[in-house]
Homo-oligomer: A and B are copies of this chain.
Amino acid sequence: MHIDKHQITQHNEQLEVSHRRRFMRLADELPNAEQVIGRLVDFEVAIPSWALGTGGTRFGRFSGGGEPRNLEEKIADIGVLHALNRSSGAISLHIPWDIPEDYAAIRSLAQQNGLVFDAMNSNTFQDQPGQTLSYKFGSMQHVDKAVRKQAVEHNIEVIKHGIELGSKSLTVWLADGSSFPGQLNFRKAFQNTLESLQEVYEALPGDWKMFVEYKAFEPNFYSTTVGDWGQSLLYSNKLGDKAYTLVDLGHHLPNANIEQIVALLLMEGKLGGFHFNDSKYGDDDLTTGSVKPYQLFLIFNELVEGMDNRGMDHTNDLGWMIDASHNLKDPLEDLLQSVEAILIAYAQALLVDRVALVEAQAANDVVRAQELLQQAFRTDVRPLVAEARLRAGGALNPLQLFRELDVRGQLISERGTKTTATGL
């Protein structure tokens, strides 16, 4: 399955008149439409290799068809997404699910699809067939040094794969924690984990980053050893300059103010990256922007303000990735919706009148501050996002074209209905 430039052009021609009208009307009302479009064109969100198949819960999984059966097909799927929206030009691999057999071939395939290799992900939250020691009671926190060593070595292995592919970062998400009071000594668990992370850190190439991801709960239900941003920051600070905190939107306690966390991590120079998704109850891993679009905007509002304050490059200085579970929707459609929601929130954040906002804050004019944020959020920026896509060579309406071309139908023809993507 491959999307042809011709197909995109044809689609765009059909929609162009109405798009042009809406875009011109919007641009006419905005002071900085071209600047926003430029930023949108540059923006990329990485797609994780495990998000291309149907997800599930502990209660079950309802597979769709045409899921990718190997790394090559995963790359092809992301190639389809990127061809459609021109904003998904990076893939994030998960080891051991995506171990390449032939690096050069994989690199070449990625290049053909316009993709680069984003952060590598290790897995010490599951036992693999043939694995010597079990992670049932944790990996880097484990009371047994041999288990910790196994986890460290796995991470170093992951780095090696990444080096071959041109990745520049390692994301470490640890499920380590406990489900019952008394199970762990919290201090020892922290110190074991720190020591293990340090060993991985030492194996990190000089131009790499390590992202320490935190999560409040699940799969452990009493404590998690990297449980919140405060803990992640402690680890990152103790590890060194190449270590950063990674924020996954679904990994917080109820009602947490994530945008404030983002602002403070940026202040400390320790925000490394993002996992986008949405949720109502826990780590629900729903389509980004499907439940709390205003929160997503508020987060981007802090990102833009905070990155600009530090003179950071919006596109390259943070790792942007979707991390969701596609239980009910077609995974590719879900990803198209997520990328669109991210671009919309980013565009809205770029529209905030920062000079006026600083003035309102300086005057404690809370009413005006709210008006300024909502002025940006209420603006229907979809024509800007579409225009950016058009200029970058993508489709004006990726989802519509995905359906018109019956991409899923073709994938099912190619791969069958009973395939299950490797991974979760």
Contacts and interface: CB of A to CB of B under 8 A. Distances in A.
Interface string A111-134: 000000000000001110000001
A405 to B, nearest CB: 15
A59 B181 contact: no
Nearest to A333: B367
A134 B187 contact: no
Given A58-B424, A62-B134, A223-B260, A370 B180 contact: yes
B57 A369 contact: no
Contacts of A56: 58, 219
A382 interface: yes
A185 B184 CA distance: 39
- Chain A interface size band reads 35 or more
A143 B364 contact: yes
A73 interface: no
Given A218-B281, A367-B330, A367-B333, A302 B180 contact: no
Given A180-B328, A180-B329, A294-B294, 7 more contacts: A60-B126, A186-B263, A187-B267, A257-B280, A290-B370, A334-B367, A378-B380
A175 interface: yes
A280 B292 CA distance: 12
Nearest to A233: B230
Given A180-B290, A328-B136, A369-B180, A266 B187 contact: yes
Contact of A58 (B58, B217, B334): B58
Interface string A314-338: 0000000000010111100110010
Interface stretch (A78-86, A89-97, A158-166, A354-362): A354-362
B59 A424 contact: yes
Contacts of A309: 187
21 contacts: A57-B58, A58-B325, A62-B135, A179-B286, A182-B301, A182-B360, A182-B370, A183-B366, A185-B305, A187-B267, A221-B286, A223-B260, A227-B260, A253-B254, A255-B281, A289-B374, A292-B292, A293-B377, A294-B294, A329-B367, A371-B399
